A and B are shown apart, each in its own frame.
Chain A
Amino acid sequence: DTAVSQTPKYLVTQMGNDKSIKCEQNLGHDTMYWYKQDSKKFLKIMFSYNNKELIINETVPNRFSPKSPDKAHLNLHINSLELGDSAVYFCASSPPRAQETQYFGPGTRLLVL
């Protein structure tokens, strides 16, 4: 019944590794997002993906790459992980013509050692 789900919930890894976080929504939404919540709790949008159009936030390093195999999934792949990537990553989705209403997943807590 979970509307927006993310896996894994926790991810601990070494610097330099490559990792992926998966997001799935069963709401039939067209638009999906990735957010990063840093240690000061600010949520910053990283990407939004509307059907087949990806909108990239320019402040996101190109080590981060979203991949959307279909409308219900938006995965986040991170190459060459750095200490500063440690954060909570939230996936969200929104319905057509109501992008202001976002449904968030529970978050993935990433710790880079």
Chain B
Amino acid sequence: AQSVTQPDIHITVSEGASLELRCNYSYGATPYLFWYVQSPGQGLQLLLKYFSGDTLVQGIKGFEAEFKRSQSSFNLRKPSVHWSDAAEYFCAVGEGNFNKFYFGSGTKLNVKP
């Protein structure tokens, strides 16, 4: 069965430090992978997505993610975190017809001044 695992429930980083949020997936076919961000009281906003091609994808707000098939991972990274990045981040896998998406349980990011 398809599933998405985000092993870290909470992460705290200092402003200006680098960030990596982990995501592992289980999916039988070629995955379509996504990262979303949810600010308090807001809906989910798409940060980036991977379908095929270059395994390093760039997204909005300075985020990037790397698809590693051998590790079934799609980790999200940012070289220098800003206080406004504090939010909850969700990794997701979409089925080929995009009628179903499987989301992880989210990682809450806190940013220390």
A residues with CB within 8 A of B = 4, 40-45, 48, 55, 57, 90, 92, 94, 99-107
Contacts and interface: CB of A to CB of B under 8 A. Distances in A.
Given A100-B32, A101-B46, A40 B100 contact: no
A107 B88 CA distance: 14
Given A104-B43, A105-B43, 13 more contacts: A41-B90, A43-B101, A45-B100, A45-B101, A90-B43, A92-B43, A94-B98, A99-B97, A100-B32, A100-B34, A101-B46, A104-B45, A107-B43
Contacts of A103: 43, 46
A93 to B, nearest CB: 11
- 7 closest Cβ pairs, A-B complex: A104-B43, A99-B98, A43-B103, A104-B44, A41-B106, A41-B105, A106-B43
A40 B104 CA distance: 10
B83 interface: no
Nearest to B107: A41
Contacts, number: 53
A48 B99 CA distance: 6
Nearest to B9: A41
10 contacts: A4-B43, A40-B105, A41-B105, A42-B105, A90-B43, A92-B43, A92-B44, A100-B32, A100-B49, A107-B43
Nearest to A37: B103
Contacts of A42: 103-105
Interface string B68-89: 0000000000000000000010
B100 A90 contact: no
B48 to A, nearest CB: 11
A90 B106 CA distance: 15
B41 interface: yes
Interface in B37-74: 41-46, 49, 51
B67 to A, nearest CB: 15
A21 B45 CA distance: 21
For A101, A104, A105, the residue with the greatest tally of chain B CB atoms inside 10 Å of its CB is A104
A59 B48 CA distance: 29
